[in-house]
Each structure stands twice: as C-alpha cells, then as structure tokens.
Structure 1
Amino acid sequence: MTSSATLLRPAGPAAADTPPPPPAPARTTRKFLPEVQGLRALAVLMVVAYHVWFGRISGGVDIFLLISAFLLTGQFTRRLEAGRPLELLKYWVHLFKRLLPLIAVTLLAVLGAAWLFFPVSRWPDVFGQAWASLFYYQNWYLAAESVDYYAAQHSVASPLQHFWSLSIQGQIFILWPLLFAVAALLAKLCRLRIRPVLIALFGAVFAGSLAFSITSTATHQAFAYFDTRARLWEFALGSLLALLLPYLKLGRGVRIVLGWAGLVAMFACGIVLQVGQQFPGYMALWPTLAAAAIIVAGFTDSRLGADRLLSLKPLVKLGDSSYALYLFHWPALVFYLVVSGNEQAGLVPGLVIVLGSVAAAILATKFIDAPIRRSPWIERKRRRAVTVILVCVALVATPLAAWQHQLNAANEAARQAVLSQAAPNNPGAISLLPDYVDRTGPDAVLVPSQLDMPDEWPRFEGGKCRSDGKEMLNICNNGIEDGEKSLVVLGSSHAHVWNTPLLAIAKQNNWSVNSYTKGFCPLGDDLSTGITESCQKFNEDTMSEVVALHPDLVVTTSTLTSSEKGEPEVLEPSWVAAVGTLNTAGIPVLAIRDTPRFANLVPECVEESPEDLSDCGSVRSELFAAVPPTDAVAGSLPETTFVDFTDYFCDATTCPAVIGNVIVYKDDNHVTSSYLKTMTPIFERELHTATGWDMK
C-alpha cells in the first residue's frame, strides 16, 4: 500500500521510436488526490470494524488491492509514455525498503506476544506464518492449511492471518512491473502506442482471472480466497481504471451521483450483502466497482460531492497511516481475545482496540515509516536501501530461527526420552484392559508433546497420498498392491483417523488399504444435513469407484456426535442408504461409532491445567445416546458390523482428555494417532470378530 495518490494520465513526450499517444483530455492538473487517500482510510476503517465487531466481509481489502494497482499503473505508464526507463530493480528496492520496516515491527511484536500469551501448542503455527509473512507467501500458506478466514472464533485464529493480502500485494508488486516491461517490448517491436497495448494486456488478465476466480470460488472457496490467481483481476481492474480514466468525459452532476452511489455501494457490501463465503468470485465486483465509481467521480469541486467527505483532513491523514493500521489491528484483536478468554470483542473493548491501533499506526507512520521513506541519505545510494531491507529481514529472521531451533531441539530430546519408556509410561487405551498392570514411572510425561500435535494424523509410510488442502481431502494408499485382503476407508476426517491402527494391522498381514476421506464429509448425499455440494459430489464419485473396486471390507464411521449441549448423537438416513448401496453390491462394512467432541481445544486445556484435567473432558451422556442409534437399522444392513469403542474413550460418566498418559485429542474432536496406536490390539480384536479373518 503506497502512501501517495497521484493523478494517472498521459504525461511527457513519447520515446523517439514509439508513436506518440493520442491526445487525452486532462481532467485536472492535481498531482495529489485527497479523495483517493480518504477512500483508503474508509476502506481500512471498514476492515477494522468488521474484524473487531461483526466477523463479516467488508470488501475493504478488495478496495486496497484495486487502489494499489491504480497507483502502480499510473507510475509506470507515465514513465513509458515519457520515454523513461522502468528501472525495475530501483523500484523494487525502494518499494520493499518502504514496506518491510513496519512488517518487521509487527512480526517482532507478535512473536513477543505469542511467547507471553500463547500455549506452546500454538507456537509452531506462529513460526510458520511469521516466515510466510516476512517473505510474502502467507496467502499460499493459509490456503494449504485450509484456513477459514470467516471463522467466528477469532481467539483461535493466527495473529498473522491478515498478512495474506499483503503477500498477494507483494507478489503483484513483483509481477506487474514485469508485465509493463513485456508491454513496452511489444509496443517497441510492433511500433504500437503503449497505452492500447497495456489496455489489451490488462484486459486479458482481467477476463482470464475473473473467469478463474468465479470457477474456483464455486468449487473450492476456502482455497480460492487466498489464491493469487483468483485475485489478479482485482488488480487488473485497477490498472484498467488508471489507463482509461483520462478519457472518461462525465459531467459534474453525473460524477456527483456516481461518487455517492459508489460510497453507498461500498458500505452496503458489508452491511447488506451476506457474501463472505462467495468471495472472491463475482461478488468481489461489488466493492471493487464501488471504489472504481468513487475514483471516476474524482474531484467535483462541489459541496454536494462525495469527494468533499473523502477529502476531510482527518480521513486524508488516516489514509497516510492506513498501512500501519491494517498491520496492527488484527494482532491486537487476537491477543485481546486470548488474554481475556472472550470469543468476540464487545463494544467498549473493541473501541479500545480500534483507537489503540489507530494511535499506534499514526505513531509508527510518523516515527518509523516516514523517516525511512523520506530519507534522502538512504535514497542517495541503492545499497543503503538494500541494507534497510536486509536489516529488517535479519531483525525478524534471527530471533525467529533461534527460537524455533531451540524449541525443536528441546522437543526432540524430550521425544527420545519418552520413546525409551513409552511402553510402561504411556499405555493409552491398553490401561483400560481388564488385565492391565500399572507400571508407570514417577517421572512419566504425557504424549504426544504440544509441538507434535499438528502431525498427529495417520502416516501412509510406503504408500502415496494426494491431499487437497483446500477441504482436507485425503486420497491415500498404503503401497501394497494385490494384497491378501483389500480394505477401503470411507467418510470424513473422523473415518480418516482410524487408518492409524488399520495401517499397522494391514502391514503385518500384507493387506491393501485405500482411503478416500474428506473433512466435514460423512457418507451420504442429503444436503439438508449440512453437507456441501462438493461433499455430495465427492461421495457420489467415491461410491462409484469403491463399488467398482469391490474391496473385501469398507471401514467407515456411523453416527455423528456434537460438542453443542442439547445436540443428540444422530445417524443420518442418507448414511444408511449409502451403506445399503455397498451391502447390495456385496461389500461388507465395518461401521465405527463416532468419537467424542469437545467445546474447547483439548491440547491447550491440558497445557493450561496439567494438575487438574477434569475441566478438559466432556460428559458422556451429553455426547452419546443411551442406546446407539445404529441399533434401529442393524437388521436392515445384514452385511454391516457396528463397532462401538466408546468405552475406550469414556468411563461411565466422562470422556477424559488424557487416558493412560496419552493425550487423546489433537484438537477439539480428532483422536491423536498416538492414542490410536495404543488401540491397535483392541481394533485388531474387533476386526477379527467382524470378519473372521486369520491375522498374524
């Protein structure tokens, strides 16, 4: 986000070997556009307000993207039309010298606050996102992690999550000048005017990216939201606006109406439209076209014009600090929620967060950003600007790398010590067997460690996995072809976790395992149960594939539990129909009753209350029906065996977070692979009972 807003119009004589551009009517000779600066201020205030109080889309970020391209395009177009070199290296050095100091300040503050207030289990994600934010790939990091940007519980969000848009901007700030260089080369070779070439180029980018954005948003919105390719059209629209603006001849009355219409539309995007889960497809045209209308309206020189509001000095001054305000407000919100224990900021705390962020942004802009940006000593020699960039990177990278290395080394040493005593000290589910003899040592520690939690998923060693991080899609196999038995795991992520004991048993018995699972996607095709159209399509496709494969056994989960009080365990009729399809095809099914769910993140609760874990569990009667819902359909599914492992997750009254010195859940509902490894002999026994297969 640059801090100046200059008029974008043809300027200066053309290069000697380039045909001169056609005359363009200059709408104004102003070099500074206060209404654009005010627009930036309003956009950032919308972003801040909707993050702090409403948790809904504002469209403000999309406006930032458009304005960034609008300003950048004017700068490079004027250079080309004046016959001046683009000086790309100089531009990039100057730009990142301007951007990185405040990024370094933000990252250092977040790392310090994370060390003070975050549990150890959240540190690895902060490390990964800090690196991603520093080097401008945060949007791809979040896309791969399947982050829901609209998650209502901001207290569990990353304090660096908002860097996604800055990462996209940084990528565009590298790509866009290269496109200008390509356009300049084409114009020179073909003896064309540069502006029509640029219009054609960015018009093609706009059309192609918008089509891609609409398609990808409809199919994989969680990924598309962070996908640079799905955002290119927003920048291209800003570039087209800059290129075409000087030729637009609109009367003052029309521009007055256009300006106010743009402002109303801009605010309506967040207030009226419920479009969060449809961004950045065609819905993102709403805020970007609204902003474009305001820019086209421009300076009306009328007391009735919207530019009169946008040019107010407080807004213009805030526009100077909009970059810092965007950087600061989100971490302030997240850490407030973590410290306070609230899920949302109320009116007064939210107001304190907003005002504090504004004050911090103004001070940082005045004492950090402006002095570095305006320093003639730094600008005099390029190596000095490069030094500023390197210093900013080193200020973050050095403590971050040291902290990460120290933590990983300590965790690895602790892991090896635990592994050497795992059998007696961490029996897990084995501790619930009738003949169990407790041999736990006095120095026994819990496993897995907080740092290992992200990796507590099944491991398909020797096999292959195709994971679509967009919606937790995992299509995997164990690498054993033509095994003595063939098994398929089907369903949601709750079915996926059962691969852990199954893979161990399959390896020992030379069985083939194929797993087709998708997060939030249990078997069934009834959209009224809450599954998405994407899930419905996935289930249809995998069902056809599994029927054609005709395995010896399908393993899946049956019922659905809920962490919400008063929400009973259910068995969906569409699940019964899906399993009936498998049975009709002659495929037996092993259906496992769902596991417990919790209101809070179990690892964090265990870390915060290691001496008293009673508050970290759930009440069994609130999760499970006294009579399993599957009893009512067992007779209609003769080829299905229903297995209930609830007694290995709950006692008579509670479902504890820790069993046999093993933390049972990696989050608020998924069982850790460490605990499921201890269930392998128990699972093997039930599998033998269900199938009668001989096992080694």
Structure 2
Amino acid sequence: MSTSPNVPPKKKPLGTYLETRGFRPEVQGLRALAVLLVVMYHVWFGKVSGGVDVFLLVSAFLLSLSNLRKINEHKPLNLIKYWLHVFQRLMPTAGVVLLLTLLASYFIMPASRFAAMVADAKASLLYYQNWHLAFSAVDYYQQNATLKTPFQHFWSLSMQGQIFFLWPILFAIVALLVRKFRFNLMGSALMVFGTVFVASLTWSVISTQTQQAFAYFDTRARLWEFAAGTLIAMGSMLWKAPRVLRIVMGWVGVVGLVSAGMVLPVETGFPGYLALWPIVSGALVMLAGNTESRFGVDRILMSRPLLWVGESAYALYLVHWPLLILYMVFTNKPHAGVVDGALIIGVAVGLAWVLHRFVEQPLRGSRDSKARKKGASSRRSRFATNNPWVRPIATVLACLALIGGPIAAAQAYVTNRDARMEQLAETGAGTADFPGALALEGQGSSSYKYPPIPAADPLSQYADFNEQCTDFLASSDPQLQAGCEQSVNGPEDAPLTAVVGASHTGQSLAMIGKIAEDAGSNVVDYHLGGCRFPDEPNADEECAYLNSHVVDEILSKQPDNVLLMTTVTDPASNNETVPEGMDAAIRQFTDAGINVIALRDNPRSTQNMYDCAQLNERNPQECSSRVEDKMAAVNPSQEIIDSNPRVFGVDLTDYYCPDGQCQALIGNIYMYLDDNHISKSYGKTLAPMMRQQLEEQGLVL
C-alpha cells in the first residue's frame, strides 16, 4: 500500500507509555472532594483545609498529561490557541461572579471598603489577586487588607491563570529539547519540571519561615505544587502499581487529604514543607487511578454525586466564598452556624450548577455545537465552525469589555468619591457640621445634613508630618533618621515635643500637631507602627533598634517634652495595663529635665468599629460598649503621674465613652479607623481637650 505523495507519512510516537487518554472519573471525584473540603472548612470551621492545593495539583496533572501526549505524538502545542481556549472557558463564569459580587458588595459591605472591593475585583479579573494580597498582607497599617473580603478566594484562581500561561511555555522548552536536540521526552520533562519543583519548594520552605503572610500568596512559593502535578502525570504514564497496592494508596490518600486541615496549621504553616501532606495525599489518589475493585476508594470518588459536583467544581469554588462573606456581614455574625452554613452550601451548589449549565458549558467549546446539532447551514454558523479562533477571541474580549468596563467605572466613581471625602476630612473636622468631640462640649450643629466624615486611608492615617527631619531635628544615626518626621511651626528655640511609641501614640499626632501649629511650636516624630515603647514583645529588628537607641537620641536633642502612650487596653476586657519598664523609661527623661506627656490609651474592640458604625449609621448604639467593660476604673498610670512632677497626664476617656458608653460615631465623625485605632479626623477634634488638660496641670506647649 503506497502513501500519497502529498501526504507526509505519520510519525511514530517517541515512546510507548501507559494509556492516558479519556475521561478520568476518579480524578474528577478527587477534584470534587477537594472543593467540598474547601467549602465546608470555610463555612463551618473558619479554617483552610489544604483542598486548594489539591485543586491546583489536579489542574497541573491534567494539563501535563495533554502536553506530554502531544509532544510524544509530534502534535503542535499551539500555545496561543491553548491560552485563548483556556481563558474562554475560565473568564465568563468568573466574570459573572465578579460583577454580581461587586454589585452585592455595594449594598451590603461598609462604604469604606468598596474601594478595596473594586481593586480586588480588578486584580481578580486580570489574574494578579494573589500578588495584590501578598503585598497588602505585609504592611502593618493595612490590617483591613487581609480581612476576609468577597474576592479573597480569587488568589488561587489568579495563580492558576498564571500557571496556565507559564506551563505551556515550559512544555514548549521540553518540546524544543526533544524535537531539535533529540533529547528523551521524560528525561527532558524531568529536568525542566524537576528543577522547578526543587527550586520552588526550597524557596517555599525558606520564605514560609521568614515571611509566611507573603509566601502564602506568592506564586514562586507554589510553583512546586504545580510541578508535582506534572511529575505525577509523568509517573502515571510510566508506572502502574499492583491493584492491592493501588487500593491502599487510594485510601491513604483520601484519609490524608480529609485530615490535613484538622491536624495542620494550614493558615500559618503553608505553603512550606507542610503542604507536602495534601500534595502527597492527592498524588497517591491519582497514581492509584481506577482500581476496578469494589474495595477501592475510587468507587466512592466515581459515585454520581461526586462526579456531579466535580462538573461544577470551578463554579462552586467561585460562588461559595462571596456568599459566605456577604452573609456574615449582612447578619453581623462572626461565622456561620450548622443550619445557616448548610443553607449557604446548598445555595452555593445550586448557583454553581446554574453557572456551569448556562454560562460555562455554552461558552467552553470552540465549535458552535448548537448550530451543528440543528444542522444549520447559515453563513454565520459556518463561519463560527470553520474559524476556531473567532469564538475564543470574541469571548475573551467580550469578558474584558463587559466585566472590565463596569469595574473601571466603579473604580473611577470611588476614586472621585474618596478624593472628596479626603478633602472633607482635611477641612471639615471640627466645623459646625462635623464637630466630632466638640459636640460633647455643646459645639456644632444639633442635626447633621451630611454623611459622617470617614476615616482616612490606613497608609495616610498618621501622615500628618510628611517632612523628613532636617536641620536641628536631623539625626546623626541613619536608621533613626530614616524614620524621623517633623512638623516645624516655629524657630529653632521654640518648644519642641518628641513623639515615641507605636501606632496608638501615632494617633496623637492629629492632636499634638494641631496644638503645635496653633502655638508655633515644633514636633519631632519617632513613632513606629507595631513598636510599643519602651519594649515591644517579639519585636522585629527595626523595632528593637529603635527602642534601644531612641532614648539616647532624645536625650541628645533635649526636647522640652516627650509624648508617650503609658497604658495599653485590651479588646476583650477591661484589663488595662502599664507596659513593663515604663516608669524607669520616664524617669530617664524627667531626670534630664524633659517633661513627659502621659497619654492614656483609647478603648479597643473585638469587632471592626468603623465597619459597625457604617452598617449601623442610623443606630450607632449597636456598636457601643460600657466603659467599665473596656477601661480600668482608674488610669493605671495615675501613680506614675502623681509621683513625678514632670509627668503630665492626658485622659480622653470621657470623649471616647461619653455617659459611660464607648461609641463609634460622635459629632458626625467616625471615631475609629478599624477595631482599635482612632481616626485622624476625630483626633483633630480632641486637640482642644488635650491642650486644656495640659494647661490645667501647668504645661503650655
């Protein structure tokens, strides 16, 4: 039998491997089990299960099987076509969830968080949400950025999208080594993906130990999990264990996967070496495969309910998290219970099926199946069928326009709104419409016509002093100089106040800055967020250096006054204490002739007071607490104040907790930035009270 001269002979496969074609029902069941674990752990236990790691592992496994087979059979990888079809499948369902979640967030979430919601939606649409969270998670003042948001779960989907882009490139390198340099297929793949596995796992272990909050969302620290999926795919093509062993492997893998979230500190220990637990568990199940035994766990994994869930696993992962978060915010609950949690899961499963059936399925293929079934011969149907590039390109572009457009419009809206609010916060605090603490003194309007002044962005909350210390306030120590800021309102010989401590001391800049501006005096600021003076438990290197050198720095400058926070309140009780070593530190200053302003701490809370006040704007009493539940009956630092004539106490409790009730909204200004920090706007209105208390004790700034 001869071969047509116009048709090249079909090339033989590079190697003979175990059959990898066809649907893998046990892998589909494993995917379903993984996503169900994620959902149940999120809803009922408020924990992380390790199921996401297996979800990512399965994606890499299936992708790798396909690419290895193509290379082996001399088929082109068609990277661009692959990318288009992948994002054609992923983007529509994700886009619908993004838009609906953003719309619901506008009506349910606190207004102050809507800007963050829009930024999250944009990062999720463009597949960089994991990096967005990683860089937010390591900033002290960005505490709210790592709170649960309706889009936070997109971190893993963003990482998956990045891998779907990167992995075909790595396989193209493998194909180049095989086809151009005649390397062995499995050897080339092992070299490329084995290198990724070892390098990424090493980085994951190191970074998890040093910066776990960042490493959790770092793609580089997760590449090894995807590489493991590729190595498992290679193993399944080369080796098949005896049936008895595969039965044992399957059960061990499932038990390991189910138990991972129960026994491992996933939230604080992943993705380092601990993530090997769910990865190895998933690998055992995939290598066990279909045992064709009634004793194999694959019989459960291939059951109709799990396979049904597996079909819509992607959509289920997408919808369960926003449902949970929006429900908890709407009901003001810290977590879901058994009954309402089951209801959330049921609604999530139903919505996932709807999305899979009416969004994902119709758009996932490249051919117009509906037209094909009907035998349509219209020009439009023929065009769609004969041009496989048209539909995926049109779908991706439509998603970017129809989803990205509203997100861009929402971002423009919140940017404009926040600019107006920031301007209002700068100029409105202390006026008749926004008297803040002055309302407790009988000043300002009795009925407010405007929404309350919001808290400032956390990063700018204490940025009253944007000027680096210079001239007579500059430090000879480079490390102290780097964190030193100043407010110069008078000549060099004008009274000078130094501010030292953590963020609660930094709150006083709004007060002391206003006093200094009015009096023509100067302020030098050494405060550092998360660095309590004189000693911060478990201090990092920067904080330890500051606390060990700032006393000598102040003694060398000889300011007139030092402002310190001399008590620390507790969010869950009235256990207000004086930091250890405070009395001795104060005496170092007073013995040198420096006055000390001893500021009492403000009440802290176990809930986000800013969010609560926004959600209960018409009934702010819902956020209030009794002062005796939040503060000690007597200022714990009063003994230090009374025993040292150079120590001047400032206690603003009556302006945080008027009539014995600690508030969240006073004088048309939100008091809090979060659960414990006083907003800059409210702080400005406290300046007259601070000045009055100091002057009554004989200290004029």
TM-score normalised by length of structure 1: 0.82
Q: Which amino acid aligns with 1:364?
A: L
Displacement after TM superposition at 1:349 (Å): 1.8
Work out which of the residue numbers 399, 416, 426 in structure 2 matches 1:392: 399
**8 A Cα contact 2:240 2:287, kept in partner:** no
Work out which of the residue numbers 632, 648, 654 in structure 2 matches 1:647: 654
Quick check: 1:95 aligned with 2:95?
Answer: no
**8 A Cα contact 2:137 2:145, kept in partner:** no
Name the structure 1 match of 2:508. 498
Distance 1:29 1:610 in 2: 60
Displacement after TM superposition at 1:691 (Å): 11
State the number of aligned residues.
651
Distance 2:696 2:173 in 1: 69
Bigger drift between 359-368 and 405-414 goes to 405-414
- Determine helix, strand or coil for the equivalent of 2:527: strand
Instruction: Describe the shift of the 1:170–1:438 C-alpha distance in structure 2 as closer, same or farther (beyond 3 A).
Output: same
Name the structure 1 match of 2:445. 440
Name the structure 2 match of 1:127. 118
Name the structure 1 match of 2:545. 541
Instruction: Describe the shift of the 1:74–1:574 C-alpha distance in structure 2 as closer, same or farther (beyond 3 A).
Output: farther
Displacement after TM superposition at 1:617 (Å): 2.6
Bigger drift between 423-432 and 679-688 goes to 679-688
Bigger drift between 482-491 and 204-213 goes to 482-491
Q: Which amino acid aligns with 1:254?
A: L
Name the structure 2 match of 1:50. 41
**8 A Cα contact 2:44 2:337, kept in partner:** yes
Quick check: 1:208 aligned with 2:199?
Answer: yes
Note the 1:263-274 alignment, pairs <5 A. Answer: 263-274=254-265
**8 A Cα contact 1:557 1:592, kept in partner:** yes
Distance 1:463 1:65 in 2: 47
Name the structure 2 match of 1:592. 599
Distance 2:195 2:598 in 1: 52
Displacement after TM superposition at 1:50 (Å): 0.6
Name the structure 1 match of 2:454. 449
Displacement after TM superposition at 1:372 (Å): 1.0
Distance 2:593 2:182 in 1: 71
Note the 1:189-338 alignment, pairs <5 A. Answer: 191-338=182-329
Instruction: Describe the shift of the 1:419–1:506 C-alpha distance in structure 2 as closer, same or farther (beyond 3 A).
Output: closer
Displacement after TM superposition at 1:93 (Å): 0.8
- Determine helix, strand or coil for the equivalent of 2:98: helix
Displacement after TM superposition at 1:361 (Å): 1.4
Distance 2:179 2:687 in 1: 70
Quick check: 1:631 aligned with 2:638?
Answer: yes
Name the structure 2 match of 1:4. none
Displacement after TM superposition at 1:322 (Å): 0.5
1:550-570 Cα shifts (integer Å, max 9, x gaps) = 465664423222332x44222
Work out which of the residue numbers 518, 523, 528 in structure 2 matches 1:516: 528
Distance 1:104 1:188 in 2: 39
Name the structure 2 match of 1:71. 62
- Determine helix, strand or coil for the equivalent of 1:424: coil
Structure 2 portions without partners, runs of 5+: 1-9, 369-383, 470-480
Displacement after TM superposition at 1:303 (Å): 1.9
Taking only aligned residues, the RMSD between alpha carbons, in angstroms, comes to 3.8
Distance 1:289 1:211 in 2: 17
**8 A Cα contact 1:217 1:224, kept in partner:** yes
Work out which of the residue numbers 133, 139, 144 in structure 2 matches 1:142: 133
Instruction: Describe the shift of the 1:491–1:213 C-alpha distance in structure 2 as closer, same or farther (beyond 3 A).
Output: farther
Instruction: Describe the shift of the 1:29–1:220 C-alpha distance in structure 2 as closer, same or farther (beyond 3 A).
Output: closer
Instruction: Describe the shift of the 1:417–1:511 C-alpha distance in structure 2 as closer, same or farther (beyond 3 A).
Output: closer
Displacement after TM superposition at 1:48 (Å): 0.7
Name the structure 1 match of 2:565. 557
**8 A Cα contact 2:453 2:668, kept in partner:** no
Displacement after TM superposition at 1:127 (Å): 1.3
- Determine helix, strand or coil for the equivalent of 2:23: coil
Name the structure 1 match of 2:5. none
Distance 2:507 2:320 in 1: 37
Distance 1:578 1:182 in 2: 63
Instruction: Describe the shift of the 1:243–1:503 C-alpha distance in structure 2 as closer, same or farther (beyond 3 A).
Output: farther
**8 A Cα contact 2:130 2:159, kept in partner:** yes
Name the structure 2 match of 1:469. none
Q: Which amino acid aligns with 2:630?
A: L
**8 A Cα contact 1:154 1:344, kept in partner:** no
Displacement after TM superposition at 1:182 (Å): 3.8
Name the structure 1 match of 2:627. 620
- % identity of equivalent residues: 39
Name the structure 1 match of 2:463. 459
- Determine helix, strand or coil for the equivalent of 1:516: coil
Name the structure 2 match of 1:371. 362
Displacement after TM superposition at 1:426 (Å): 2.4
Bigger drift between 684-693 and 160-169 goes to 684-693
Displacement after TM superposition at 1:352 (Å): 1.9
Work out which of the residue numbers 474, 481, 485 in structure 2 matches 1:478: 485
Distance 2:399 2:347 in 1: 24
Distance 1:288 1:118 in 2: 36
Distance 2:522 2:629 in 1: 40
Distance 1:106 1:415 in 2: 31
Work out which of the residue numbers 163, 167, 170 in structure 1 matches 2:158: 167
Note the 1:395-414 alignment, pairs <5 A. Answer: 395-406=402-413, 408-409=415-416
Bigger drift between 324-333 and 555-564 goes to 555-564
Name the structure 2 match of 1:427. 435
Displacement after TM superposition at 1:619 (Å): 1.7
Instruction: Describe the shift of the 1:204–1:96 C-alpha distance in structure 2 as closer, same or farther (beyond 3 A).
Output: same
Instruction: Describe the shift of the 1:199–1:85 C-alpha distance in structure 2 as closer, same or farther (beyond 3 A).
Output: same
Q: Which amino acid aligns with 1:559?
A: T
Quick check: 1:362 aligned with 2:353?
Answer: yes
Bigger drift between 153-162 and 41-50 goes to 153-162
Distance 2:533 2:185 in 1: 56
Instruction: Describe the shift of the 1:34–1:414 C-alpha distance in structure 2 as closer, same or farther (beyond 3 A).
Output: closer
Displacement after TM superposition at 1:96 (Å): 0.5
Distance 2:70 2:432 in 1: 73
Work out which of the residue numbers 673, 690, 694 in structure 2 matches 1:666: 673
**8 A Cα contact 2:290 2:298, kept in partner:** yes
Instruction: Describe the shift of the 1:114–1:306 C-alpha distance in structure 2 as closer, same or farther (beyond 3 A).
Output: same
**8 A Cα contact 1:598 1:669, kept in partner:** yes
Name the structure 1 match of 2:95. 104
Displacement after TM superposition at 1:101 (Å): 0.7
Displacement after TM superposition at 1:327 (Å): 0.6
Instruction: Describe the shift of the 1:388–1:618 C-alpha distance in structure 2 as closer, same or farther (beyond 3 A).
Output: same
- Determine helix, strand or coil for the equivalent of 2:570: coil
Q: Which amino acid aligns with 2:568?
A: L
**8 A Cα contact 2:564 2:596, kept in partner:** yes
- Determine helix, strand or coil for the equivalent of 1:337: helix
Instruction: Describe the shift of the 1:201–1:222 C-alpha distance in structure 2 as closer, same or farther (beyond 3 A).
Output: same
Quick check: 1:606 aligned with 2:603?
Answer: no
**8 A Cα contact 1:418 1:445, kept in partner:** no
- Determine helix, strand or coil for the equivalent of 2:432: helix
Q: Which amino acid aligns with 1:332?
A: L
Displacement after TM superposition at 1:90 (Å): 1.1
Larger Rg: 2
Instruction: Describe the shift of the 1:115–1:247 C-alpha distance in structure 2 as closer, same or farther (beyond 3 A).
Output: same
Quick check: 1:59 aligned with 2:12?
Answer: no
**8 A Cα contact 1:558 1:575, kept in partner:** yes
Q: Which amino acid aligns with 2:547?
A: M
Q: Which amino acid aligns with 1:650?
A: C
Q: Which amino acid aligns with 1:497?
A: Q
**8 A Cα contact 1:214 1:282, kept in partner:** yes
Instruction: Describe the shift of the 1:77–1:498 C-alpha distance in structure 2 as closer, same or farther (beyond 3 A).
Output: farther
